[in-house]
C-alpha cells in the first residue's frame, strides 16, 4: 500500500488531469506573497472510510483562477471524488493602522481507501502567480475495518455479485454491480455518479445491462430491518481469456448525502449537513481453470452451451436447381470467439460460397445469440441424394468435457433436369471450385549458366549519351549550312565561283565516261566545256561568249602562270579541231587530251581559288 498517489486512477476517472492554479495579480504592483498547502482532515482512516484532502492557495490579492488540473494518478484500491471548489474566503486585518488582507481558495478531494496499509499523497504541483509551488507529501495510514475509529455510517453501498468464482477459461461469468440505498426519512441522497469504472484485465467483457443507458426499475429490500432501494448499476458477461486468479475490479460511486447532525433548528426541524461520499464495491477474485488438453479436431475455442440445427428449403428438386442449406448454431457463450463449423464434403453438389452471419442476442442475464451458415447447393445427379450433417465442437463447462454436436442429415429427391435428361452422367467427375488451402512464399529462381548484370541501365551507358550527339550534330550542321548560305546569298558571283570546282569535276567524270564508251567527239566536247565553264564560273560571265583572248585576259588577271594559260588555250584549240574533224581524233589522242585536260583543270582550280 506504500505507493505514490501519483498513480491513483481516480483522478483520471474523474476527468481531471493536473492541478494548475494561475494567480495573476494586479498589474503595476509587485507579486503578492502566495502560500500553497495541502492538508487532510486526518491521517488515519479505516477501509471504507473517507478523508478530505484540501489544497489551499492563499494570497494577499485576489488571484484569477484558471481551471484546475491534477496529475494523472493510478492507484488501485482508492476511490476519489473531486476536486470540488474553489471555495473562497477573505480576511482583512488592521494592525497599528496598517490594513492587510488575505484571500484563500480551497479545493477539496474526497478519498476513500479500499485496502489497509500506508498511502503517500505525493507533492502536488500548483502554479500560482506564474510560479510553481509544491505541496508537502502526506502519509495516510489505512487500517482494517473496525480497527480504528468507527467509520461514519453512510446510507449508500455498492455491492458486486459474481455468478461463479470457479470457471473454465472462456466460460461466462456474470458480474453485477448493485447500488443499495437506505430508504429512510433521515437518508437524503442526491447526485449519484459512477466515479470509477471497472477496468477488466484478462477478461473479454460484454455489457448486459447499464443503468446509465437503459431504465432499470429499482426494487425494495429490507436489510437488518432497514428498508433499502436496490438498483443494478452495471451487469456484464465476462469471459476469461487466460487461466489463473483473476480480479474483478471495484466500481466507485460518489453521491451527496445529507447527514443528520442531531440538532434541530428554531422550528424544531432536524438540521442536516451536506457531505460528498465515495463508496466502492469490494474487489473479488475468480479462479480460472485452463481447458483440458487435447481438444478434438475442429475445436475453435467455443465454451458454453450450444445446439446445432439445419434445414433445407426443399426436399424435392430438379437437377440443376438450387437448394438452400442453412445450419444454425444457437446458445450461450462468447459467439465472437467460437471458431467455424465443420462442413462435410459436398461432392454430390456444386456448392456456392457460404454466407455466414452472426446475431448477438444477449439477454439481461446471459450473453449469447446465433450464428447462421447458409449455402446454395445444386445437385449434380438425379435420384436420391442427401445433404450430410455439419458439426461443431465446443467445451461444455457444466460437464467439463468437449462435445461435438451435429446437425440433421437431409434427404433430397432430385428429378432429372430438362436439359440433361437422358444425358450420361460422368460419376466422380463433378466440378468444384479449386481452393487454395495454404500459403507460403514462392520457390527460388532456377540455376543459371550466366547471370546478367541488371544494375547496368542504358542511362548509365556512355554510348547512349554519345549517340545523342549525332542528331544534335545533324541540326548544328544544318544550321551552319543555312547560315553560310544566308551570308553568301548577297554575292552570286562568289557562290558561282565556289561551285565551279565541283562542276568541273563532274564534267571531267562525264568526259571520262564518254571516252570509255568510245564517244571521242563527245569526250572532246565535254573537256572543252569543262575548261570554258571553269573559267566562266570564276569570272561570273557566260561561257558562250568566251574567246581565246578573253580567256587569256581572265586567267592573266587572276595571275595564272603564262605556261598554264598557254597549255589551257592549246587544249581548247585541240578540242575545237576535234569538234570539226572528229575522224582525225584517235584513241591515243583522246587519252592524251583527257590527261592534259585533267592536269590543266586541276592546276587551274588550285590557282583560281587562291
Stretch that binds other proteins, among 114-122, 285-293, 304-312, 469-477 (CB under 8 A): 469-477
CA distance 511 to 155: 138
Any contact of residue 478 with other proteins (CB under 8 A)? Answer: yes
Among residues 371 and 538, whose Cβ is nearest to other proteins?
Answer: 538
Closest to other proteins by CB, 267 vs 459, is: 459
Q: Is 485 in the site for other proteins (CB under 8 A)?
A: yes
Q: For residue 94, give the H/E element and its range.
A: strand 78-95
Angstrom distance (rounded) from CA 170 to CA 409: 30
Residue 319's φ and ψ, nearest 5 degrees, are -60, 130
C-alpha cell, 78: 482508492
Element (H, E) at 310: strand 304-312
Count of chain residues binding other proteins (CB under 8 A):
39
**CA distances (Å), 305 to each of 332, 369, 402, 492, in order?**
5, 11, 11, 113
Q: Identify the bridge partners of residue 329 per DSSP, sorted by sequence position.
A: 308, 371
> How do 316-318 and 410-415 pair as beta strands?
parallel
CB of 473 to other proteins, least distance (A): 7
- 471 is an interface residue for other proteins by CB under 8 A: yes
Q: Give residues with Cβ within 8 angstroms of 487, minimum separation 6.
A: none
Dihedral (CA of 407, 409, 410, 415) sign: positive
Q: Examine residue 423 and tell whether it contacts other proteins (CB under 8 A).
A: no
Minimal distance in Å, beta carbon 548 to other proteins? 30
Cβ–Cβ under 8 Å, residues 304 and 331: yes
> Does position 516 bind other proteins by CB under 8 A?
no
- Interaction between residue 563 and other proteins (CB under 8 A): no
In the shown chain, the binding pattern of residues 208 to 247 toward other proteins, with x for contact by CB under 8 A and - for none, equals ----------------------------------------
Point out which span in 39-47, 238-246, 386-394, 470-478 binds other proteins (CB under 8 A): 470-478
Any contact of residue 438 with other proteins (CB under 8 A)?
A: no
Please identify, among the stretches 97-105, 154-162, 448-456, 553-561, the one whose residues bind other proteins according to the rule CB under 8 A: 448-456
Residue 472 touches other proteins, criterion: CB under 8 A: yes
Q: Give the three cell numbers for residue 555.
A: 586567267
Q: Which stretch binds other proteins (CB under 8 A): 361-369, 395-403, 444-452, 536-544?
A: 444-452
Candidate segments 177-185, 232-240, 340-348, 443-451, binder of other proteins by CB under 8 A = 443-451
Measured from the CB atom, the residue of 35 and 468 that comes closer to other proteins is 468
Residue 351's closest CA among 384, 316, 390, 383? 390
Cell (9 digits) for 205: 467483457
Least spacing, CB of residue 469 vs other proteins, in Å: 10
For 485, phi then psi, to 5°, come to -70, -35
Q: Are 302 and 392 a contacting pair, CB within 8 Å?
A: yes
User: Does residue 452 touch other proteins according to CB under 8 A?
Assistant: yes
Q: Give the binding site for other proteins (CB under 8 A).
A: 439-459, 461, 463-464, 467-468, 470-475, 477-479, 481-482, 485, 499
Amino acid at each position: 500500500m506504500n505507493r505514490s498517489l501519483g498513480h491513483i486512477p481516480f483522478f483520471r476517472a474523474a476527468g481531471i488531469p493536473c492541478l494548475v492554479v494561475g494567480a495573476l495579480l494586479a498589474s503595476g504592483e509587485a507579486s503578492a506573497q502566495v502560500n500553497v498547502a495541502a492538508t487532510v482532515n486526518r491521517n488515519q482512516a479505516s477501509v471504507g472510510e473517507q478523508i478530505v484532502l484540501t489544497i489551499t492557495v492563499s494570497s494577499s490579492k485576489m488571484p484569477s483562477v484558471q481551471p484546475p488540473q491534477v496529475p494523472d494518478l493510478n492507484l488501485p484500491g482508492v476511490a476519489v471524488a473531486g476536486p470540488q471548489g474553489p471555495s473562497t474566503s477573505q480576511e482583512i486585518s488592521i494592525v497599528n493602522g496598517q490594513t492587510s488582507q488575505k484571500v484563500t481558495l480551497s479545493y477539496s478531494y474526497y478519498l476513500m481507501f479500499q485496502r489497509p496499509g500506508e498511502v503517500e499523497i505525493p507533492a502536488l504541483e500548483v502554479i500560482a502567480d506564474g510560479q510553481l509551488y509544491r505541496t508537502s507529501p502526506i502519509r495516510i495510514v489505512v487500517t482494517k475495518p473496525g480497527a480504528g475509529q468507527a467509520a461514519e455510517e453512510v446510507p449508500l453501498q455498492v455491492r458486486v455479485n459474481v455468478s461463479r468464482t470457479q470457471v473454465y477459461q472462456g466460460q461466462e461469468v456474470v458480474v453485477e454491480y448493485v447500488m443499495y440505498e437506505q430508504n429512510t426519512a433521515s437518508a437524503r441522497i442526491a447526485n449519484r455518479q459512477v466515479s470509477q469504472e471497472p477496468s477488466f484485465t484478462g477478461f473479454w467483457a460484454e455489457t448486459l445491462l447499464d443503468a446509465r443507458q437503459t431504465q432499470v426499475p429499482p426494487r425494495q429490500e429490507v436489510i437488518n430491518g432497514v428498508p433499502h432501494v436496490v438498483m443494478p448499476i452495471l451487469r456484464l458477461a465476462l469471459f476469461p481469456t487466460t487461466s489463473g486468479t483473476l480480479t474483478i475490479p471495484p466500481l466507485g460511486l460518489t453521491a451527496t448525502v445529507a447527514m443528520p447532525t442531531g440538532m434541530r433548528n428554531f422550528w424544531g426541524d432536524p438540521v442536516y449537513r451536506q457531505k460528498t461520499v465515495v463508496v466502492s464495491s469490494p474487489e473479488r477474485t475468480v479462479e480460472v481453470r485452463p481447458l483440458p488438453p487435447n481438444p478434438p479436431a475442429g475445436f475453435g475455442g467455443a465454451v458454453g452451451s450450444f445446439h446445432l440445427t439445419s434445414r433445407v428449403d426443399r426436399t424435392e428438386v430438379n437437377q440443376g436447381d438450387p437448394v438452400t442449406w442453412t445450419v444454425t448454431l444457437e446458445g450461450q457463450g462468447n459467439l465472437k470467439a467460437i471458431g467455424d463449423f465443420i462442413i462435410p464434403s459436398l461432392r454430390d453438389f456444386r456448392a456456392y460460397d457460404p454466407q455466414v452471419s452472426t446475431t448477438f442476442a444477449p439477454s439481461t442475464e446471459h450473453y449469447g445469440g446465433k450464428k447462421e451458415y447458409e449455402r446454395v447447393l445444386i445437385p449434380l445427379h438425379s435420384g436420391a441424394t442427401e445433404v450430410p450433417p455439419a458439426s461443431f465442437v465446443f467445451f461444455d463447462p457444466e460437464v467439463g468435457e468437449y462435445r461435438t454436436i451435429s446437425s440433421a442429415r437431409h434427404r433430397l429427391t432430385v428429378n432429372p433436369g430438362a436439359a440433361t435428361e437422358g444425358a450420361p452422367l460422368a460419376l466422380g467427375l463433378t466440378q468444384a471450385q479449386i481452393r487454395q488451402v495454404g500459403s507460403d512464399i514462392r520457390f527460388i529462381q532456377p540455376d543459371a549458366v550466366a547471370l546478367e548484370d541488371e544494375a547496368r541501365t542504358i542511362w548509365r551507358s556512355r554510348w547512349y549519351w554519345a549517340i545523342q550527339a549525332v542528331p544534335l550534330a545533324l541540326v548544328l550542321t544544318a544550321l551552319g549550312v543555312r547560315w553560310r548560305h544566308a551570308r553568301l546569298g548577297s554575292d552570286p558571283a562568289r557562290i558561282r565561283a565556289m561551285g565551279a570546282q565541283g562542276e568541273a569535276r563532274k564534267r571531267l567524270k562525264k568526259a571520262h565516261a564518254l571516252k570509255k564508251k568510245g564517244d571521242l567527239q563527245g569526250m572532246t566536247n565535254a573537256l572543252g566545256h569543262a575548261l570554258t565553264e571553269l573559267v566562266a564560273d570564276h569570272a561570273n560571265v557566260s561561257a558562250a561568249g568566251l574567246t581565246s583572248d578573253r580567256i587569256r585576259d581572265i586567267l592573266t588577271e587572276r595571275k595564272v602562270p603564262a605556261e598554264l594559260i598557254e597549255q589551257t588555250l592549246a587544249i581548247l584549240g585541240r578540242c575545237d579541231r576535234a569538234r570539226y574533224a572528229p575522224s582525225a581524233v584517235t584513241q591515243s589522242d583522246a587519252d592524251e587530251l583527257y590527261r592534259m585536260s585533267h592536269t590543266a583543270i586541276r592546276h587551274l582550280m588550285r590557282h583560281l581559288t587562291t
